[in-house]
Structure 1
Amino acid sequence: MGLRENAAAAAGRTLSAETHDRPDEDMPPGEDYTPAADPMAGYEPGDGDPEMVPVHLAWLRVRKEVRAIAKGEQYNGGGTRFNFRGVDTVVNTFGPVTLKHGVNVLPTRVDAEYRDTTTSKGNKMRECTVRVSWLIVGPKGDTLALQTQGEALDSADKGTAKAQSVALRVLLLTGGLTPTHDKDPDSVVVERGETPIRPAATYLDEICNPHTSAGRLRQIHHELGSTRQLGALVTNEIGEEEQIGAMVVRIGKERAAGGGQ
């Protein structure tokens, strides 16, 4: 009696030959075993069931039905604004269609890496990067193997889930070659003009502001130098004319000597 039969007997059960889906380690050499029956062998689609086609055809049918997903959501924060296709929108579009055509999308392995980082405002964040291996399983049980990556930042414990959601969105959009139907950016031609030079006098309020950092004063000096305006005469904080480049250097030294005051 094999290990599995002993375990079954101890539990008051008996194993039939069909339960042998692999040889036991202690099975005598040359003894035959009966593999598990194919659960799909006698399956016949019923009403509402998907047609039993290979996975590549089922996935093609999913793509034909999804067709396109527009960038209907907008991010607007931190001075940046752009349109995007969020993971919820993508999953809500693909989910019912994959169900209709008998397609399953399954993660089989997740490799994650983490590092601590901070935002530009000094807030502590946790960065997670994942590489996810996927199986797209067709109605007949055959599969397509794919792999995507995702990256996310989070201040709590949601970084891994966010990164996996990004990886899923990438899988569906790239694996589905899902267009946006946006206007082709090459169809618009923008003629770039010369960038206007900022006049030296417009820097005065910032230079005289006691809260302007030493780093910003150095940057202003560099900007004035790059536009050849260091020698421009301006009216300084006491009402006298002074070259603006010399004024920036003088105020920077005065604040450094006064401990930033």
Structure 2
Amino acid sequence: MTTIAERAAVAAGRADTPVGPGEDAPPAEDYAPAPDPMADYEPGEDDPDMVPVHIAWLRVRKDVRAIAKGEQYNGGGTRFNFRGVDTVVNTFGPVTLKHGINIFPVGIEAEHRDTTTSKGNKMRECTVTVSWMVMGPKGDTLPTLLKTRGEALDSADKGTAKAQSVALRVLLLTGGLTPTHDKDPDASHVDRGEAPVRPAVQYLDEITHPQTSAGRLRQIHYELRQTNQLGVLLTNEVGDEERAGDLVVRIGKERAAGGAQ
């Protein structure tokens, strides 16, 4: 019979396991510490430094520094710059290899739904939530799994793969705090001034031109009223002075009457 103190000492590794009457002692290897997988490791010429994972990831960030928004989407009346999946992976891939960082997807939750584009094409929408494990050169990992989401549309069977690629891009850019080094849109300031007023005399040729439509004449009359120039005297087509507003109205009526004949 052993005492509580003796059993606690055995559990803590400070004493041999007690053996009762008629019992055989357990093999010594059952209590040997687990072998260190790096014990016989000999670094090669191109192998990464054996540093903790958080140090290796910091070195990755230092080498990547920034990724500019060098690609442009221009379609459907929308245009914007972005950092594509291939650009991000091509940047991070060699650097993570250099510093011994491995990134594994260890959990994927996917949601799918059928949808239709504005042109009536059938599409499959996929949204994924991916849990990532980031492992360092010594085999240690970051203390928590990192989760990112990605969305994608596809007309065939590639939606899930596309969504996972987007989730990987989000992980690398957010986990790497990767800046663009683009100019801040708030860095420049433009003071808007008043648009210069077009003098009434500059409308004269357009008013008297036979190809000026009735709609354009109405627009000219509106512009002259907005700038308080309806009463400005202009030299009409027969050499007489006529107020700008009256000139526009008269010519508009003459053309309307001529078109009705």
* Same fold at TM > 0.5: yes
Change in Cα spacing, 1:108 to 1:193, as seen in structure 2 (3 Å) is farther
Q: TM-score, normalised by structure 2?
A: 0.60
Secondary structure at the counterpart of residue 91 of structure 1: helix
Paired residue for 1:161?
161
Please list every run of 5 or more consecutive structure 1 residues that lacks an aligned counterpart in the other structure.
1-29, 195-200, 203-234, 241-261
Given residue 162 of structure 1, which amino acid in structure 2 is its aligned partner? K
- How many residue pairs match? The answer is 171
Identity of aligned residues (%): 79
- Comparing 86-95 with 116-125, which one deviates more in the overlay? 116-125
Q: 1:112–1:35: structure 2 CA closer, same or farther, 3 Å change rule? A: farther
Match of 2:244 in 1: none
The alignment yields a C-alpha RMSD, in angstroms, of 2.7
Q: Deviation at 1:138? A: 0.3
By how many angstroms is 1:116 displaced? Answer: 0.8
State the partner residue of 1:182: 182
Aligned with 1:148: secondary structure?
A: strand
Deviation of 1:31 after TM superposition, in Å, equals 5.9
The equivalent of 2:122 in structure 1 is: 124
Q: In terms of Rg, which structure is larger?
A: 2
Equivalent positions of 1:207-226 (< 5 A) are none
2:52 maps to which residue?
Answer: 54
Provide the TM-score with structure 1 as the length reference.
0.60
The answer for the alignment partner of 1:208 in structure 2 is: none
> Aligned equivalents of 1:133 and 1:31: distance in 2?
41
Assess, with a 3 A threshold, how the Cα gap between structure 1 residues 174 and 193 changes in structure 2: closer, same or farther. Answer: farther
Q: Per-residue deviation at 1:52? A: 0.5
State the distance in 2 between where 1:104 and 1:193 align. 56
Query: Residue 173 of structure 1 corresponds to which residue in structure 2?
Result: 173
Q: Which amino acid aligns with 2:167?
A: A
Report the Cα distance in structure 1 between the residues aligned to 2:156 and 2:148, rounded to whole angstroms. 24
1:152 corresponding residue in structure 2: 152
Residues 36 and 193 of structure 1, relative CA distance in 2, 3 Å threshold? farther
Mapped partners of 1:193, 1:106: distance in 2: 56
Alignment of 1:2-81 (within 5 A): 33=30, 37-81=35-79
Q: Gaps (5+ residues) in structure 2? A: 1-24, 195-214, 217-251
SS of alignment partner, residue 131 of structure 1: strand
